[in-house]
Structure 1
């Protein structure tokens, strides 16, 4: 019999964390973070990591498991989550995935297959030499010519992933995007997807307010500490909430511009999240508003009651 899993998804700032805690309390569950950035230690404010008091005693997994300069992949996420689902289920509790990183959650719920197909040491060494000779931008431009979809997703400074994508193409004749598109969507779990959506203007206002709150809570100090501790070029620092402040710290533009840029990037990210979830998942959507959170959450709990053992 398949393990039962609930996933709570939607754009940033819509209220996923609060709903996840409520479901866990009501249904004897534990939460698995479905956010690609909350895995990093010391990156708390900019990733909107749930505070201890907000968790209300509910265990939260996959938080603070990596340093900001450590690599993390979709494949590793999937492997870790599968183990957590087994563990939580075996202890008689309900696994609840809560987050907004669509590809990560999709990889678990539809059992994406990741392998080392295409690994070729000679090719990777040649690409590494090319990187040394021509620099990261040149290598990224090569990737953009063969696989613009992946190139858009990978920052030029994330040379490990750029080389991997080029290596796959050179050894198999297929791009990483081709591999992703050929994934067979299996469903290893008896899962229910709960999606939260909100009027766009209201959501954007909430995002702007969240950024202001992050700044009040010390976001600049968090970014500065990471910057001065040697993480400036770490892939994690390319995330929204961090990358906007590096030029400010280097005197490129002023603080107000950095904050405005963060708000704009966060709004655009929310739009991309919403589009991804709409296109890739079969989701039960609930339209909510700040004024009716309690009522809508009670409706969701009622709808989920059928999953109880």
Structure 2
């Protein structure tokens, strides 16, 4: 039953309108009322400790919000960003500044050399360990980032796939090594399919790390990765089953709070307070285009991409070089090197356009990903930061569980009207820094000076 009395519960599983009382009652009535809408759930447990999760599409303002929230809640930030883990990749990852990291402790930032790979499994282990340590210090873990798979594993748990032995790792590297050096992705895919994993066809092209990992799992267990239970999938299956049960029993569409209450979030390890920060898609796209421009000023991201090339890394060859912005910049600089440092304004604007388009597409994928996540409360990032902070602090400190996102802060998950759809389809980038040929003359001079010293032979 959803409508039931729970005694001694410090946090209820249904969130309703925020109410302030002189003194909280010794018990709470957890009644989910069907006439209330836009309700969200955390969980009802006096034993589980609270963890705040802040996510959102790239460029939505997650870092700033988390920094200010950490100051208010005596928190420490755990980065859930697959690029910020790398030293030297500062501009393209919008990494928090040294001053900000001194003001509030940040974790999983600048922990790896760009030549190393970092997996979602390693993030899970690192982030969970840090969470325990932060809670042990009496502080609040604030997990912040837009890497959806990192956050999904962090909240729900990781699949129980076997670890690879050194022998199997060597065997896999031997089988795929030559194909990777030759850039023969199709042959590598065929090899793994014949080994017994047809699911590799869904991998992004040249994602050699994930291809190797899938072959390692196959060789270690004799089964493809899809054969292993994924905690999130089990959670979603229970969620959908609960939804059907409630609809069948009531005959009406139930609220989000009722559905999530029946889904029993108490099975999760922590009391997760999850928030998704976003803006209207059109505004987000404009902001991303401007952000990409800003990253190119004073050769910013191009200098970092140049450093990656000087390390001997190639575009799209590992986790760091697959990152949006770096991949496009490295490709652009490689072409310039092959041409003895020559580059035209057309070449530069082609690179910038590809960078901007990749950033917009990534943000769109993030919105789609988190739209399917049941635990997140969506908040409008265009609203005053102070209002957003006040709501999240109230939600975190609430002892009754009776709170909902105010209408003034609500962010619609979907494009809600035909006008928005039409505007999105007709969207065109309008730069503010790089408009004419002369606007990129400084960049072209920097490319000529830095890339002209490289020859095609030195690249090989």
Instruction: Give TM class, smaller chain.
Output: 0.7 to 0.9
Give the match for residue 295 of structure 1. Answer: 387
- Structure 1 residue aligned with 2:95, among 49, 56, 63? 49
Give the match for residue 224 of structure 1. Answer: 306
Further displaced range: 226-235 or 197-206: 226-235
In structure 2, relative to structure 1, the CA distance for the partners of 1:154 and 1:168 (3 Å cut) is farther
In structure 2, relative to structure 1, the CA distance for the partners of 1:204 and 1:132 (3 Å cut) is closer
- Structure 2 residue aligned with 1:282, among 362, 366, 375? 375
Deviations 1:184-227 (A, max 9, x none): 55511111101112100000111111111111151111111121
Q: Is the 8 A contact 1:7 1:193 kept in 2?
A: yes
Q: Secondary structure at the match of 1:243?
A: helix
Looking at structure 2, the residues matched to 52 and 164 of structure 1 have their Cα atoms a distance apart, in angstroms, of 34
Q: Is the 8 A contact 1:9 1:99 kept in 2?
A: yes
Q: Secondary structure at the match of 2:320?
A: helix
In structure 2, relative to structure 1, the CA distance for the partners of 1:101 and 1:157 (3 Å cut) is closer
Higher-helix-fraction structure: 1
The alpha-carbon deviation at position 32 of structure 1 amounts to: 0.4
Q: Is the 8 A contact 2:159 2:229 kept in 1?
A: no
The alpha-carbon deviation at position 170 of structure 1 amounts to: 5.0
Give the match for residue 115 of structure 2. Answer: 69
The alpha-carbon deviation at position 264 of structure 1 amounts to: 0.4
Does residue 35 of structure 1 match 2:60? no
In structure 2, relative to structure 1, the CA distance for the partners of 1:83 and 1:181 (3 Å cut) is closer
Aligned residues: 305
Looking at structure 2, the residues matched to 237 and 172 of structure 1 have their Cα atoms a distance apart, in angstroms, of 30
Does residue 207 of structure 1 match 2:288? yes
How do 1:43-192 residues align onto structure 2 when only pairs under 5 Å count?
Answer: 43-55=89-101, 57-116=103-162, 119=164, 127-132=172-177, 134-135=179-180, 136-137=184-185, 138-143=187-192, 150-153=200-203, 155-156=205-206, 158=208, 160-170=209-219, 172=221, 174-179=223-228, 181=230, 184-185=234-235, 187-192=268-273
Q: Any unmatched runs of 5+ in structure 1?
A: none
How do 1:215-294 residues align onto structure 2 when only pairs under 5 Å count?
Answer: 215-216=296-297, 218-232=300-314, 233-251=317-335, 254-289=347-382, 292-294=384-386
The alpha-carbon deviation at position 169 of structure 1 amounts to: 3.1
In structure 2, relative to structure 1, the CA distance for the partners of 1:101 and 1:150 (3 Å cut) is farther
The alpha-carbon deviation at position 72 of structure 1 amounts to: 1.2
In structure 2, relative to structure 1, the CA distance for the partners of 1:150 and 1:74 (3 Å cut) is farther
The alpha-carbon deviation at position 109 of structure 1 amounts to: 1.2
In structure 2, relative to structure 1, the CA distance for the partners of 1:105 and 1:166 (3 Å cut) is same
Q: Is the 8 A contact 2:162 2:221 kept in 1?
A: no
Deviations 1:212-249 (A, max 9, x none): 11111511111111211222244311110100012211
The alpha-carbon deviation at position 305 of structure 1 amounts to: 2.8
Looking at structure 2, the residues matched to 144 and 258 of structure 1 have their Cα atoms a distance apart, in angstroms, of 34
Looking at structure 2, the residues matched to 132 and 300 of structure 1 have their Cα atoms a distance apart, in angstroms, of 48
Deviations 1:124-179 (A, max 9, x none): 55544433565551113444786566554455262x53233124235545432443
The alpha-carbon deviation at position 304 of structure 1 amounts to: 2.7
Q: Is the 8 A contact 1:154 1:161 kept in 2?
A: no
In structure 2, relative to structure 1, the CA distance for the partners of 1:302 and 1:169 (3 Å cut) is same
Q: Is the 8 A contact 1:75 1:114 kept in 2?
A: no
In structure 2, relative to structure 1, the CA distance for the partners of 1:127 and 1:259 (3 Å cut) is same
Larger Rg: 2
Does residue 26 of structure 1 match 2:72? yes
Deviations 1:260-284 (A, max 9, x none): 1011001100111111112134211
TM-score relative to the length of structure 2: 0.60
Further displaced range: 45-54 or 69-78: 45-54
Looking at structure 1, the residues matched to 283 and 94 of structure 2 have their Cα atoms a distance apart, in angstroms, of 19
Looking at structure 1, the residues matched to 151 and 399 of structure 2 have their Cα atoms a distance apart, in angstroms, of 20
Q: Any unmatched runs of 5+ in structure 2?
A: 1-46, 236-266, 337-345, 401-460
